[in-house]
């Protein structure tokens, strides 16, 4: 098995730090063929977000805050077991982790500035409302009779 095809870019020039990734392999659950019971194809990728130096400080704080529910002692865990080959599961896990960190470190969206409705449009809306009201009032059967 060759080396991982990396580097996995989080955003810009920041990549997943290969030395800080902790890999664990185990047997995938579920049905399989003759090969499945002997191969450790499920991949668990751990990344210590709390003590990493690979991310800019601002990103790190942002990620720790946003991923708080998924962290166990500052460590984020990603599992992959959908492929039969361990190598493809490793790829999937690394890509997933990079995507997760990219999302968690993204800058917050700019606050929305409320737009003002032009006066003419508002007046037209009120005028149309009044006309409609008059039409409906004209339908009451008072003078039909």
Residue-wise pLDDT for 78-107, tens only, equals 888 888 788 888 888 888 888 888 888 888
More confident residue, 39 or 3: 39
More confident residue, 132 or 107: 132
What residue ranges in 18-121 does DSSP mark as E strands?
21-26, 42-48, 75-80
Instruction: Quote the pTM value.
Output: 0.62
Query: How many Å apart are CA 9 and CA 94, to the nearest integer?
Result: 10
């Amino acid at each position: 098995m060759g080396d991982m095809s990396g580097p996995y870019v989080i955003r810009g020039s920041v990549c997943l730090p290969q030395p800080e990734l902790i890999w664990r392999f185990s047997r995938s659950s579920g049905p399989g063929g003759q090969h499945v019971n002997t191969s450790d194809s499920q991949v668990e990728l751990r990344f210590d977000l709390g003590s990493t130096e690979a991310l800019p400080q601002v990103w790190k704080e942002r990620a720790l805050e946003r991923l708080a529910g998924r962290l166990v002692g500052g460590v984020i865990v990603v599992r992959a077991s959908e492929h039969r080959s361990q190598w493809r599961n490793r790829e999937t896990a690394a890509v997933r982790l990079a995507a997760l960190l990219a999302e968690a470190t993204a800058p917050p969206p700019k606050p929305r500035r409320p737009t003002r409705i032009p006066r003419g449009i508002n007046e037209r809306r009120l005028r149309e409302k009044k006309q409609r009201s008059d039409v409906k009032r004209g339908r009451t059967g008072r003078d039909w009779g």
